[in-house]
Structure 1
């Protein structure tokens, strides 16, 4: 059940086959040349992204800051808002138009997403209704007539207006949309016993990214993931008096919305490693537990240096919290430092000793572990929401299911919070390269499962894909050998639902496990991966940047691995072809003939078992196969050999292991 220091359970569909060198290449030299030839990566290095995989000396990215005022009309389920979007052009180009994302238009009848994933969108709405758009300049608004196409809004700047390098523009956008019902997607209003839960995500018009790779990145939103620039968010949410709101960032006006009891309990939580109840199950049923008893309340939040914000609002919430053991931060200039809190909100029916009562414990562990292991968590709070169960992540807040419990609740909580590192901190383009988002995160949260409470929930499994053998090296083989399976470098939205988890999540994660534990070793991989996160924090790396960075930082030419694992679905397949003593004398040494029948030459361990019950291991490095697919290994003599075995610990994904062992004759 284990793989080195980590067990990562993979499960995919298909059948295994073997590949041999063609008859016209009896030595395998041509096949090896194809595997080891120099790899040309998709993005060439330059002044914006260097050959070492770090941002280049002229790297730039634009910035989007938001001030948003929103209100929920609970009678109609309509969320309305006005935002001031301040966009800074750091590019060398002058812009005469801007592009804005309208994700809510995915719910319109006839949206492109309906044709791509019709099962995802059982309910329809009018989408994002844009009431007005204007440029705010010199104290006046200059109206813009938007051009809306599916989930994109194009804004041509007024005649004569250009947004030049280093300049800012302020847009005022007024909008509203109906919050969809509990259809199982990214945003919803869900009824439970005590009322409705509003999970509000992708809720405001958001700037598209303009970058040096392709200019405006205007892929239509089809229901998967995102690509966003960074900035500061100041937002308010107006809701009925008996609602509790938790959201990304720090709550700036607790005295206006929380009772003295709630504020005292939050202060207690900030000093406690154990979970403290902020709103109890009894409070949910008690109107007197609220600060006001009629009308509305406005909750005010701020989050800095983030690519997005989300929130949840409801009258049904049990709310608990505990401190995160990280230094306090200031959410805004001139404000006192605020404590870091792990928090959970959920309906009363979600409570239970192995259910949401433990959620904050899981949140606290995830944030502290990932911070210690990889990169310090930068934001004030980390929140787990027990709601409809979208299993979806946003900066500082994740939406999970109130019915989740036991190992499933731990795994989903840890996975979704892991997304705060990928892609919320390391802002890869998950719209195009999902493996840098889902796979990198699955990799780090599998290690978190091993770390939590002495492995209470290890090894990590995914409830949608039950394990077959319990060995990741075996469970990945059907995917590698499935001729229909797309490689990791396939654009995200061309990967069908059948292969989305097996490829984007688990093949990507297992590739990093192989890189860490079989190719580089943790002593080289870990500092390099930490430095990659540091170098690209709050920036936009592409796959080529990651590949170049890991090579440069670890001192290894890994083109053969990138080609075989990421650009192709290749696998290793080794055989022992002969085993003998030198001159038939055990004292003179042992000779072992080996052959590589596969196209991915991972380092492989050769073990000799001796008649005295001991054994000796020799790692056969990848470079051994540069000149052909057959080699002979000479090993010291002295003891009598019982057998030789390749990959004795079963850590490599080999389809055919029938010829991995040979007895001495």
Structure 2
């Protein structure tokens, strides 16, 4: 009721206010665009409900993998055989299958190579002559019968055209593929080889043919891998075997199944100690790196066997140059896990990877407690050639970074285990849905770690920079990664994160937002949400029609410019109250927070909802002043990316 009275007073004041006191200014604002009806272009259906939850007939296909791979260090070659146990849960028969063979990015004639800048870029996929996935054979087993299939390869996609159709609603098929590829030294900043004084560190990712997702939105999702756009994968169980030189340590997604065969009794004992310790335990110490004492044997090969359940991908690393640390993870349910770090001695030390196990452990504990419990029992950070890349249960970070940079890289990459490894969005099409949501939660983890040692929720620094960045942007967040301008890619991370911060703190309030955000995560864990599913989830759980907010932040490049136009007094007497006029000059609109200071020293914070801008770009409200106004400041805590902060402040003439 008080809110209603305030709006009535504001409306009345705007009606009686003489037009002569309204400041003349150039405005880009059109309320009809911002508050246009029909934000959602389609209704909910039986697969995806209108309230943002999976519908009663939601389905997704499943892919279980058994993989056997051998690392041939002499030829830097990986040879593998994958058996994919695929279930068609869709309501449609499938006459063909599509798989991702991402190593074809490194073929010199790939689309990714062709679209790389002459000057190079972060992914720099040009010039690897030995690159590419070599498919040696492909076959399927269906209804007990084996069929040899000639694969049809188009850039980074492989199609298997079947002599039959896989039936809908649970029919199964087994896909068998033998393959090999030469490991690139710099694998598009996602994998590769790092040469250290104690040996090569191999980071292996996109290392086996993977099923493309077949979903209810697009059918087969077959966008090629070109470097910038990341991944969209089906969920399933992984049972994989890595054969590598016996001198190497292998770190992988999931849980090691045969420690007695590939580790020494000392390493097994130290790992047991680590599982009981919140402090970091050294599994392989500095003076033990590369020595015979760390391996069951030095000659020949050893096969490491890992399993991971209900995951959308796996990755691994191998080297004889690894130091190895570990510590216990404590989950909210009481379950225990283990966090580990492997890194070369070039990266060791308190400022370097000596703290990385704690960074990993405490990040996982924070995200598990705050959002959704980490579903797996282990995680490992690997120092290597990749600047920063995430996979379920394993992350790759640059061996060079230290201190705050290392913390932020570790907490960001492991944060991706929530978006998109648990909440399985389509990274290749909607980059903001994983990078942005992850960057948002990273800020809270940084504030929580070690009394905010690396806290980064610094609005007075971030928001003006974002205002400048948004003012220069040419692409909205809904732009696909490969179409986003190179200078605008950071918007996926920071514009999305800032949008959610503002939605949480200035539009909905923390309690409403946090409930809705967790509601989205819970409903879409291990599923494939689309952007609309996120928008609808927040709208419904928070109880707010946010079409205007989603439109301006995610579908446009609109910018914000709030201004104070003027101050007048009722009957020219400050003790009768002040009439304060504000304007919305940019096409983006947000609620208004105004700090009003009187000459008698009294100060107040006034908050107005975004609805004041529904009828136009000017609004006048009455402030019950008791003395002349000294100043009016909009957005006093600098939360907003206002493109012109000079007009945010009005000061009384001297």
TM-score by length of 2: 0.92
Q: 1:138 to 1:162 in 2, by over 3 A?
A: closer
Q: 1:143 to 1:376 in 2, by over 3 A?
A: same
**Does residue 498 of structure 1 match 2:487?**
yes
**Does residue 477 of structure 1 match 2:467?**
yes
Q: Aligned-pair distance for 1:605?
A: 1.1
Aligned residue in 2 for 1:76 = 75
How is 1:406-555 mapped onto 2 (pairs within 5 angstroms)? 406-459=403-456, 471-482=461-472, 485-501=474-490, 503-555=491-543
Q: 1:428 to 1:240 in 2, by over 3 A?
A: same
Aligned residue in 1 for 2:386 = 389
Q: 1:126 to 1:564 in 2, by over 3 A?
A: closer
Equivalent of 1:648 in 632, 636, 640: 636
Q: Deviations over 1:149-198 (max 9, x none)?
A: 1111110112x443332111011111111111235532212211011111
Residues 612 and 619, structure 2, Cα contact 8 Å, conserved in 1 = yes
**2: distance between equivalents of 1:566 and 1:228?**
24
**2: distance between equivalents of 1:662 and 1:395?**
52
**1: distance between equivalents of 2:194 and 2:353?**
18
Residues 184 and 390, structure 1, Cα contact 8 Å, conserved in 2 = no
Residues 163 and 169, structure 1, Cα contact 8 Å, conserved in 2 = no
- Larger mean Cα displacement after TM superposition, 86-95 or 186-195: 186-195
Q: Deviations over 1:482-514 (max 9, x none)?
A: 2x520111122101322112x211111111111
Q: Deviations over 1:586-620 (max 9, x none)?
A: 33222212222122221111222123322011101
Aligned residue for 1:136, secondary structure, equals strand
Aligned residue for 2:200, secondary structure, equals strand
**1: distance between equivalents of 2:552 and 2:351?**
42
Q: Deviations over 1:31-50 (max 9, x none)?
A: 21221111433554211111
Residues 415 and 441, structure 1, Cα contact 8 Å, conserved in 2 = yes
Aligned residue in 2 for 1:269 = 274
**Does residue 203 of structure 1 match 2:207?**
yes
Q: 1:593 to 1:523 in 2, by over 3 A?
A: same
Aligned residue in 2 for 1:346 = 343
Aligned residue in 2 for 1:229 = 234
Aligned residue for 1:415, secondary structure, equals helix
Q: Deviations over 1:125-149 (max 9, x none)?
A: 2411111111124655321111111
Residues 580 and 664, structure 1, Cα contact 8 Å, conserved in 2 = no
**Does residue 185 of structure 1 match 2:189?**
yes
Q: 1:43 to 1:545 in 2, by over 3 A?
A: farther
**1: distance between equivalents of 2:647 and 2:74?**
69
Equivalent of 1:360 in 353, 357, 361: 357
Q: Aligned-pair distance for 1:640?
A: 4.2
**2: distance between equivalents of 1:470 and 1:40?**
32
Aligned residue in 1 for 2:565 = 577
Aligned residue for 1:96, secondary structure, equals strand
Aligned residue for 1:256, secondary structure, equals helix
Q: Aligned-pair distance for 1:294?
A: 1.9
Aligned residue in 1 for 2:13 = none
Aligned residue in 1 for 2:254 = 249
* RMSD of Structure 2 on Structure 1 (CA): 2.0
**2: distance between equivalents of 1:489 and 1:42?**
15
**Does residue 258 of structure 1 match 2:247?**
no
Q: 1:514 to 1:611 in 2, by over 3 A?
A: same
Aligned residue in 1 for 2:154 = 149
Aligned residue in 2 for 1:8 = none
Aligned residue in 1 for 2:4 = none
Q: Aligned-pair distance for 1:644?
A: 2.4
Q: Deviations over 1:276-302 (max 9, x none)?
A: 001112221321221123221111000
Aligned residue for 2:537, secondary structure, equals helix
**1: distance between equivalents of 2:168 and 2:375?**
31
**1: distance between equivalents of 2:39 and 2:362?**
41
Aligned residue for 1:55, secondary structure, equals coil
Q: Aligned-pair distance for 1:442?
A: 0.9
**Does residue 592 of structure 1 match 2:572?**
no
Q: Deviations over 1:310-340 (max 9, x none)?
A: 00011111000000012799xxxxxxx9x41
Q: 1:622 to 1:537 in 2, by over 3 A?
A: same
The structure showing larger relative contact order (alpha-carbon pairs under 8 Å, at least 6 residues apart) is 1
**1: distance between equivalents of 2:513 and 2:25?**
30
Residues 96 and 163, structure 1, Cα contact 8 Å, conserved in 2 = no
Aligned residue for 2:167, secondary structure, equals coil
Aligned residue in 2 for 1:370 = 367
Residues 411 and 460, structure 1, Cα contact 8 Å, conserved in 2 = no
Aligned residue in 1 for 2:308 = 303
Equivalent of 1:220 in 206, 220, 224: 224
**2: distance between equivalents of 1:523 and 1:164?**
43
Equivalent of 2:397 in 370, 392, 400: 400
Aligned residue for 2:489, secondary structure, equals helix
Q: 5+ residue gaps in structure 2? A: 1-23
- Larger mean Cα displacement after TM superposition, 507-516 or 604-613: 604-613
- Larger mean Cα displacement after TM superposition, 446-455 or 405-414: 446-455
**1: distance between equivalents of 2:555 and 2:208?**
36
Residues 63 and 89, structure 1, Cα contact 8 Å, conserved in 2 = yes
**1: distance between equivalents of 2:298 and 2:290?**
13
Q: Aligned-pair distance for 1:426?
A: 0.7
Aligned residue in 2 for 1:20 = 26
Residues 567 and 578, structure 2, Cα contact 8 Å, conserved in 1 = yes
Q: 1:252 to 1:543 in 2, by over 3 A?
A: same
**2: distance between equivalents of 1:243 and 1:289?**
9
Q: 1:579 to 1:470 in 2, by over 3 A?
A: closer
Q: 1:611 to 1:138 in 2, by over 3 A?
A: closer
TM-score by length of 1: 0.90
Residues 343 and 383, structure 1, Cα contact 8 Å, conserved in 2 = yes
Q: Aligned-pair distance for 1:248?
A: 0.3
Aligned residue for 1:408, secondary structure, equals helix
Q: 5+ residue gaps in structure 1? A: 1-17, 23-27, 330-336, 462-468
**1: distance between equivalents of 2:581 and 2:186?**
61
Residues 418 and 441, structure 1, Cα contact 8 Å, conserved in 2 = yes
Equivalent of 1:624 in 587, 612, 622: 612
Q: 1:347 to 1:664 in 2, by over 3 A?
A: closer
**1: distance between equivalents of 2:329 and 2:71?**
31
Aligned residue in 2 for 1:110 = 109
**Does residue 168 of structure 1 match 2:172?**
yes
Q: Aligned-pair distance for 1:266?
A: 0.3
Q: Deviations over 1:440-476 (max 9, x none)?
A: 1111112211111112122279xxxxxxx96222101
